[in-house]
Amino acid sequence: MDREAKDESIKSIKESSKNLGHIFKKEGKAYADLGKKVAQEFKDLKNKD
């Protein structure tokens, strides 16, 4: 791979990962909220006994 093509692909990979980062941030918050909810329900269930 020549230098220019390499730079281009690195640039596009960085761009993609930046976009992925934004998506994961949004999704991650939703998953974190879900995780907290599940953890809370699990705690409540455990404390019932």
Extract the tokens encoding 26: 């949004």
Q: How does DSSP classify residue 2?
A: -
Query: What's the pLDDT band for 48 if we cut at 50, 70, 90?
Result: confident
- State the residue range of the domain holding 29: 1-49
Measured CA distances, 20 to 10, 16, 31, 46 (Å) = 15, 6, 15, 37
Structurally, the chain folds into a number of domains equal to 1
Residues 34, 11: Cα–Cα separation, whole Å: 34
The predicted pLDDT at position 9 comes to 92
Average pLDDT, the chain: 89
Please give the span between the terminal C-alpha atoms of the chain, in angstroms, as a whole number: 64
